[in-house]
Amino acid sequence: MDTFIQIAQIIFILSVLVILHEFGHYIPAKLFKVRVEKFYLFMDPWFSLVKKKIGETEWGIGWLPIGGYVKLAGMMDESMDKEQMKQPAQSWEFRAKPAWQRLIIMLGGVTVNIILAWFIYTTMYATVGQKYISTEKLQTNGLAFGEAGLNAGFKNGDKILSVDGQTQEKFNRLMIDVLLGDKVEIERNGQKQTLLITDEQKSKILATEGREFIQPRIANIVIDSILPEGEAKKAGLLKGDQIVKINDAKIKYYDELTGSLKSNAGKATELTVLRDGKEIVIKSNVSKEGKLGFAPNTKDKTAFQIVNKLSLIDAIPAAVNESYTQFIYNIKQFKLILRPKTEAYKQVKSPIGITQRLPTEWNWEFIWGFTAMFSIGLAFMNLLPIPGLDGGHAIFTIAEMITGKTLNDKAAEIVQTIGMVILLSLMALTFGKDIYEIIATKFF
């Protein structure tokens, strides 16, 4: 059931984004009297799930959920219709229209994606409010770091003050900023220090903990639930017990607990726990993995959440700012992917990989927020100057407007073929990697 909900979410999100993106091409095409031969949600190699011709346009749903397309008469696109291009240009064909009209048609999809994100953010800010986890509130006890973060020079209890000289009030972006930045200013034991994060260190962080390598430092560890076959159950630990000491080491924070358990992996230990206001000592073994087998009753991050309910007048510019910020983050993340030593390219996900990371319950607030973020990402990707994408077509059209010279059909065919090979190769790699990871997780 969980997987079904995740799949339903990604299909819904992709359907909204693709349909509106393609209408961004369709509407100006019709305004400029360009014949639209096909309008498809998802791709339809070899066959389609549903199709129906209405007027001059075939409307359909493909079986491969990696996008969609609008096929315009007289345009060299992914369909690679060479025969049509050999015929004399007709007045209703894309190629017969002036360059400025073709540019508007090409950029229509991206424009709609940006407007959609802005509209969603505006609506959300004016209804449920602008929500984020406060970096300042969450860092009351400092931060806890994963192993890769500790190896990069962080220490549990550090407070992050800025990244590359910029402060960040939103905790979810602070984690991204550290991975995208180079200089991190921290406060350690009341003293300010600067850490330089190398690409190699970023690679290790991305390969292990990812954005989750920074966590709030939780104090006072209380047992919430116990695994039925774990060491905690065997030792007689109970829900509500607070672990205050392991052997002779006092425990205050959860990272201290996990660190002490790892150092005692496979050993017998004495746990001092606070139960009903009294300290008692319980002997327990620690598993070879350095675990007792319980889940702590930790503070959820939402306890540090800020909710700013905005009026419609205030929500409009706030949504513009959020859309712009998301676009800038896409640029920064793309630059990180292009730095080979970070190996960030290994973290690029296909719709399969994205589906696995979606929540297992239907939450409209999350879905619309994710749709807005994804819409900006789709706009950015389509603007990349790669033949086959909107940005590739736009670049050649702008060059034509500047020079007055058009790309001949043979050259356009070659460029389009190169672009399609690049795009198909990238899709094959990302899909292949995600499928392999699923198989490896299930069977090896």
Which tokens belong to 438? 């699923």
Confidence of residue 444 (pLDDT cuts 50, 70, 90): very low
**Which pLDDT score is estimated for 197?**
92
Mean pLDDT of 292-306: 75
Q: Tell me which of 104-113, 118-127, 207-216 is least confident.
A: 207-216
**Which pLDDT score is estimated for 393?**
87
Q: Is the pLDDT of residue 100 over 90?
A: yes
Fold of the CATH domain 223-298: Pdz3 Domain (2.30.42)
Amino acid, single-letter form, for residue 246: I
Q: Tell me which of 107-116, 117-126, 127-136 is least confident.
A: 127-136
**Which pLDDT score is estimated for 442?**
45
Residue 299's φ and ψ, nearest 5 degrees, are -70, 125
Q: Tell me which of 35-44, 103-112, 429-438 is least confident.
A: 429-438
377 half-sphere exposure, CB direction, 13 A CA radius: 13
**Which pLDDT score is estimated for 116?**
98
**Which pLDDT score is estimated for 441?**
47
Those residues whose C-beta lies under 8 Å from the C-beta of residue 440, and which sit 6 or more positions away, are none
Q: Tell me which of 68-72, 272-276, 386-390 is least confident.
A: 386-390
Q: Which of 309, 306, 327, 430 is nearest to 373 (CA)?
A: 327
Q: Which of 77, 55, 43 is nearest to 387 (CA)?
A: 77
Residue by residue, DSSP assigns 54-73 as: ETTEEEEEEEEEEEEEEEET
3-state secondary structure of 78: coil
Express as a percent the part of the chain with pLDDT over 70. 89
The residue whose two tokens read 């003050």 is 161
DSSP secondary structure code for residue 408 in this structure: P
Mean pLDDT of 179-185: 92
pLDDT per residue over 137-174, tens digit each?
888 888 988 888 899 999 999 999 999 999 999 988 88
User: 22: how many CB neighbours lie within 10 A of its CB?
Assistant: 22
- pLDDT, greater one: 359 or 110: 110
Distance CA 425, CA 418 (A): 11
Contact 5, 361 (CB under 8 A): yes
Amino acid, single-letter form, for residue 365: E
Contact 348, 337 (CB under 8 A): yes
**Which pLDDT score is estimated for 225?**
85
For the chain, what are the domain ranges? 76-127+368-443, 130-216+300-308, 223-298
Are both 130-216+300-308 and 223-298 of the same fold? yes
**Which pLDDT score is estimated for 300?**
58
Q: Tell me which of 1-15, 74-88, 101-115, 366-380 is least confident.
A: 74-88
Residue 65's φ and ψ, nearest 5 degrees, are -80, 65
Q: Which of 72, 89, 90 is nearest to 29 (CA)?
A: 72
Name the pTM for this structure. Answer: 0.83
What radius of gyration, in Å, describes the C-alpha atoms of the chain? Answer: 27
Distance CA 64, CA 230 (A): 44
- pLDDT, greater one: 59 or 418: 59
pLDDT per residue over 300-349, tens digit each?
566 788 898 899 999 999 999 999 999 999 999 888 888 888 887 777 77
pLDDT per residue over 374-395, tens digit each?
999 999 999 988 888 899 889 8
What is the rounded average pLDDT for all residues in the chain? 86
Q: Is the pLDDT of residue 228 over 90?
A: no
Distance CA 273, CA 254 (A): 14
**Which pLDDT score is estimated for 443?**
42
**Which pLDDT score is estimated for 77?**
62
Confidence of residue 423 (pLDDT cuts 50, 70, 90): low
Name the class of domain 130-216+300-308: mainly beta
User: 330: how many CB neighbours lie within 10 A of its CB?
Assistant: 18
- pLDDT, greater one: 373 or 230: 373
**Which pLDDT score is estimated for 436?**
47
Name the β-bridge partners of 250: 245
